[in-house]
Each structure stands twice: as C-alpha cells, then as structure tokens.
Amino acid sequence: MKSSNPVTAHDSSENSRFGGAPRRNPGLKDFLRFRFFSGEDSTGMLGTPNPHQLTSWLFSEHKDAEEQIRESKSMIQAVFDGISDPLLLLDRDFSITILLNRAAAKYYGVHEPGEVIGKRCYEALMGRTEPCEKCPYPLVILNGRGGTFERKGLMDPARFEKVIIYPTEIGVVICIKDITKAKLMERQLIHNQKLSSLGLLVSGIVHEIKNLNNCITFNIPILTEYLKELIPIIDDYVESHSDFELFGMSYPEFREDIFNLLGNLEHASGRINDTVSGLGGFGRRNDGGKQRWVELKQVVEKAVAICRCQGKRIVKSFEVDMAENLPPIFIDPEPLEQVLVNLLIKAAQATDKEDTWIRLKVKQPDTLRDHVLIEVSDNGCGMDEETQGKVFEPFFSTKTPRRGSGLGLFVSHNLIEELGGRIEVESKPSKGSTFRVILNDANQGPTKSRYFSSF
C-alpha cells in the first residue's frame, strides 16, 4: 500500500515479501494482497487467494470440523458409557437430543440407543403419549435450576432411586442413582431403633409390674398366716352359733372360700410374673458374639410367652409340640428368639377363619440327625406362588402400611442366615402356611467350621 502497488504472488512460499501461505492450508499459494503500514511498521494485510484453491480449502476445513465433532461426540459417549449410573441428556422439549449412556439403555431396556435419539423421552422410553405424572422436568426448564428428588423405582417399584438433574447450556443431564441399599439400611436402622426403644419401654413396664406384683406375692402368705390365726377363734364362735352365715354362705363354705380366693390371687400373681419375666429380654440389641450352649426349649418358651397374649386373642388353638431329648445348640439365642416371635406374630396375623390354629413344632429331622427343625404352621389365608417367591424380599408386604413394614421376614431371613441356618416357606392360598427354620450342624458346637471361620 505504501507504494500503492498491490503485491501478487504465484507461489507465496517463495516470496519473502508475501510472508508465506496461511499456516493451516499450505495449498493456498496464489494470492493477491495489499499490505498496510503505519509509518515503517506493517500493521495488516488484505488479500484474496485463487477462487479454486479457496473452495477446496473451505471444503477440507469443513471435513476437519465434522471429523472433530464426531471425535468429541464419541469421546463424550465413551465417558458417559463409563459411568455406571443411567445418564440421559435431554433437550428443552423432552427430546433425547444427544445421547443416553449404556447404563441408561439397559435401565430402560433400549436395545438400539441410536433409535431413541431425537425422540421424546416419555415416548421412546416409557411408551407414553404425554409426559410422566409428576415429572419435574418442565419446572427445571422453567426455573433453570437443577435439583434432586427420590422416588420408587420407575422400572422396578421395589427399588428406590435418586434422580439428579443438572441444567447445562446444551440441555439437561439426568442421572438416576439406585439408592435401594442405602434406603434399606436407613429403614433397618429406624426399625432397630424402634425395637430398641420398645425394648426400653418394655423393660420399664416389666420393672414396674414386678415391683407392684411383689406386694401381692409377698403379702398373700402373710395374710394367709393371719387368717390361720384368726380362723380358730371364729370356729369357736360358730360352735355356739350354729346358724352363723356370711354373704349367704354357711360358715364352712365361707371358710373354704376365703382360702380359695387367696389361692386364686397367689396363682394370678404367679402368672403375672411368668408373663412379664418372658418380656424382660425382648428388644435388647443383638451385638453378636453371644454364642453359647442353649437349650432350645428355653428359647422357644420365651418366644411363646411373648406371643401368647396376642396369639390367644386371635387364634383358637395354639399348640407347642417339642420333641423330647433335643440336643443343646451352640447359638446366640436372642436373634433366634426374635425370629420365632416374628413367625408367630405373622402366623397370628394370617388368620382368616373361625376355627383358627397355630402349631409350633420343634424336632430333629429323621434324615438329618445333626439338624434342628422349627416349624411354625397356621391355617390362615396362605399365599400364592408369586407371593411366596417375594416373601423374604425387603419391603414386600401384603398388609396395610400400619400393620407391616415389609421387613419382618426379610430381617428373620437375614438373622437365620447369620446364625448359619436357613428359612423356608410352604403355603397354599386359603389353606395356610408353614415356615421352617433349619439350624444345621454349624450350631452343633465350637469345634465345627463356624468356630474356626471367626478367626
């Protein structure tokens, strides 16, 4: 420009005044350029290349860009696929615009992830014509703020999920985390805390009842002694008053009735004590390591004492059949007691007939002499096969939420497994159910494998 002469170059690389071809495309060689100066300093340049070369350059630049986009897209896909939680990237109108990862494809049962791209999430993944109920997505779009929420599993309602939503410039990332295990632990913790509070409450009540009952137990023999001192005096009096009557009874009847009444009171006081003594240890936390030689009879009797009150109100017949000469077993008795209580309560709750019964049977199976079998049977409502298959699953309950947490049998199952045994169910709808607890030879003493495995 200084000389008002434009510079032309047919091979820019050979012309030092020209300054070389554009770095990103050495193929552009034919140029017409004007250079700009301020004083002696070169400040800029305006030029045009040969049109043919320019078209081919632009085309190759475009190809490069496409390649780069493809590369970065597959890189993002690889990163997404490497994440084990289901992830989706949605557009503002619910479309799965860009991708879903492998975990999400598996979660929604999508065989060809490519086929759902561009479709609306509720159509492609849920087979719906409109957004799912309570879907918070529109709110996230409106507010532009992400968030998290928990829900029952969308595909499997027995599970729990946490959904995390992150709005980004290109769409909204949705991440689904399976929190069933954490929820389960949380519920078990609450359940244990409830049991432990119940245990405290029960032990407080037991203490109070025993204290008051002591007054009856202690004083009845004294009162009996007093009366024995008094009776001969009345006997003498009656001898000279043969028509003596009290409360419409002749004196000999009355005399006998006094001691009958005292006998009844003494008996009732003994029963109160037996009942509350059985409750004393209930709800105490099991911290393990309390294995010892236990007479099965005592564990069963304790569980029966706890349930007898509730059971008696509901069932007509409650039979306990314990085989003679059962061997002592090496076990922590408290979890076993808890399981038996669970099974007995469950049996009582299953009743649906006039003539209801529960049978508790303890024996050594003929074929497996080193095992002990505890059976709790009822003639209640029973279960179909599908229910039987789920009965030990957590949170599975056929009862209303107030009556059942859905954890009783799950907890029982875990406790029995921890004790080295197993629990089974056999049931027929409307006929009744039988739960079997089988304690195996691992409970036959510290010389067996279970003992050594703890070292």
Partner 1 sequence: MKILVVDDDMVQLESLRRGLRSKGYQVLEALSAEDALNRFTHSHTNEIDLVLSDYLMPGMNGIELLKKIREDHGSLPVILMTAYGEKDLIIEALHNRCNSFIEKPFTLEQLMQEIERVTK
Interaction site with partner 1 (CB under 8 A) = 203, 206-208, 210-211, 213-219, 221-222, 225, 269, 273, 277, 280
| Nearer of residues 192 and 277 to partner 1, judged by Cβ | 277
Residues 6+ apart with CB under 8 A from 137: 90, 94, 131, 165, 172
Residue 211 near residue 276, CB atoms below 8 Å: no
Give the shortest CB-277-to-partner 1 separation in angstroms. Answer: 8
Give the shortest CB-261-to-partner 1 separation in angstroms. Answer: 18
| Nearer of residues 200 and 246 to partner 1, judged by Cβ | 200
Which CA distances in Å does 35 have to 7, 50, 269?
8, 18, 117
CA proximity to 283, closest of 209, 349, 334, 331 = 334
Give the shortest CB-260-to-partner 1 separation in angstroms. Answer: 19
**Token output for 291:** 């294995």
**Interior/surface letters 313-328, b for 16+ CB within 10 angstroms, e for the rest:** ebbeebeeeeeeeeee
Give the shortest CB-438-to-partner 1 separation in angstroms. Answer: 30
Give the shortest CB-154-to-partner 1 separation in angstroms. Answer: 50
Residue type at position 268 = A
Residue 326 carries which DSSP code? P
Give the shortest CB-269-to-partner 1 separation in angstroms. Answer: 7
Residue 90 near residue 97, CB atoms below 8 Å: yes
3-state SS, residue 422: strand
Residue 218 CA, distance from chain mean position? 49
Where does residue 125 rank: exposed (0-12), middle (13-18), buried (19+ CB within 10 A)? buried
| Nearer of residues 77 and 277 to partner 1, judged by Cβ | 277
Give the shortest CB-213-to-partner 1 separation in angstroms. Answer: 5
Give the shortest CB-152-to-partner 1 separation in angstroms. Answer: 43
Give the shortest CB-212-to-partner 1 separation in angstroms. Answer: 8
* Rg of the chain over all Cα atoms, to the nearest angstrom: 42
| Nearer of residues 92 and 210 to partner 1, judged by Cβ | 210
| Nearer of residues 216 and 381 to partner 1, judged by Cβ | 216
| Nearer of residues 128 and 228 to partner 1, judged by Cβ | 228
Orientation of helix 296-314 relative to helix 333-349, angle to 10°: 20
Residue type at position 435 = F
How many residues are given for the chain?
A: 455
Give the shortest CB-275-to-partner 1 separation in angstroms. Answer: 12
| Nearer of residues 43 and 219 to partner 1, judged by Cβ | 219
CA proximity to 439, closest of 431, 448, 430 = 448
Strands 99-100 and 147-152: unpaired
| Nearer of residues 239 and 274 to partner 1, judged by Cβ | 274
Count of CB atoms within 10 A of residue 342's CB? 21
| Nearer of residues 37 and 226 to partner 1, judged by Cβ | 226
H or E element that contains 415: helix 408-418
| Nearer of residues 269 and 434 to partner 1, judged by Cβ | 269
Where does residue 131 rank: exposed (0-12), middle (13-18), buried (19+ CB within 10 A)? middle
| Nearer of residues 266 and 441 to partner 1, judged by Cβ | 266
Give the shortest CB-293-to-partner 1 separation in angstroms. Answer: 16
Residues 6+ apart with CB under 8 A from 444: 327, 329, 330, 370
